[in-house]
Chain A
Amino acid sequence: DGGITQSPKYLFRKEGQNVTLSCEQNLNHDAMYWYRQDPGQGLRLIYYSQIVNDFQKGDIAEGYSVSREKKESFPLTVTSAQKNPTAFYLCASRGLAGGRYNEQFFGPGTRLTVL
C-alpha cells in the first residue's frame, strides 16, 4: 500500500525543547514538502526538497530545520527558536514522472502543541 506516513499523530512540547516530526513515503517520489496549517487558514510552505541531500527554504522557514539523507524520508525539526510552533504540520510528496506527474500527495498530519 503506497503512501505517506507521519508520526507521531499528536505531539506535545515544552517551551525551550526541540522536537522532530517524522515523514516517510514509499511512492518513490523525488520531491518532498513540509507545510504548516493554522486554524481556519490555508497551508504555508516551510521547507521543500527536490532531491536527496538538497533542500530549499519556503515562506516560513525561521525556527525550523530539515534533512534529506534518504529519498524516502524528510524529517522536520521544530526548534526552540520557533516562536509559535503550535499548529498542524503536513508532509507531502510529488512525483516527477508517471501518470500522476507533478501531483502532490499528503500525509495524515502531526498536531503539535506547546505546553
Chain B
Amino acid sequence: KQEVTQIPAALSVPEGENLVLNCSFTDSAIYNLQWFRQDPGKGLTSLLLIQSSQREQTSGRLNASLDKSSGRSTLYIAASQPGDSATYLCAAGETSGSRLTFGEGTQLTVNP
C-alpha cells in the first residue's frame, strides 16, 4: 500500500526566502504526482501535476520535481511572499491514475 510522507510538518520563513518542501512515497510505480495548496477551511487548489514520465513542472514561482527511483518529489517556491502562507499537500497517483494517496501536508508561514 502506497504511503506518502511530507517533511517538515510546519515551516516558518521570512518573506523573500527561497524554500523547498519535501514529499516521499514508498511505491515508486506511481502514475503521476500532484501538488496542492489548501487555505484554512477551504478546498484544495491544484498547483502542479507531474506525469510519471516527466522530471519537473513549473508554474510561475513554483517548480516541482519528481524522482521516481528514489521515491521523492520536491516543491520549490522562489521569493516567498506572505500570500504563500498555506498548507501544501502532495499526492501520489496510482498506476491507473484513478486514485490519489495524500501526505499530511506541510503548513507554511511566510512572515512579512
Mark A residues whose CB is within 8 Å of B.
4, 6, 31, 35, 40-45, 48, 50, 58, 88, 90, 92, 94, 100, 102-109, 111
Count of chain B residues near A, Cβ 8 A = 24
| B46 with A43: CB separation less than 8 A | no
Q: How many A-B pairs fall under 8 Å by CB?
A: 56
| A104 with B104: CB separation less than 8 A | no
| B49 with A108: CB separation less than 8 A | no
Partner pick for A104 among B4, B51, B100, B103, CB 8 A cutoff:
B100
| B102 with A102: CB separation less than 8 A | no
Interface pairs (13), CB distance under 8 Å: A6-B43, A35-B102, A41-B104, A42-B89, A42-B102, A42-B104, A48-B99, A102-B31, A102-B51, A104-B91, A106-B36, A106-B46, A109-B43
User: Given A42-B102, A94-B98, 10 more contacts at CB 8 Å?
Assistant: A31-B98, A35-B102, A42-B103, A90-B44, A102-B32, A102-B51, A102-B93, A104-B46, A108-B43, A109-B41
B91 → chain A, closest Cβ, in Å? 8
For B105, what are the chain A residues with a Cβ–Cβ distance below 8 Å? 42
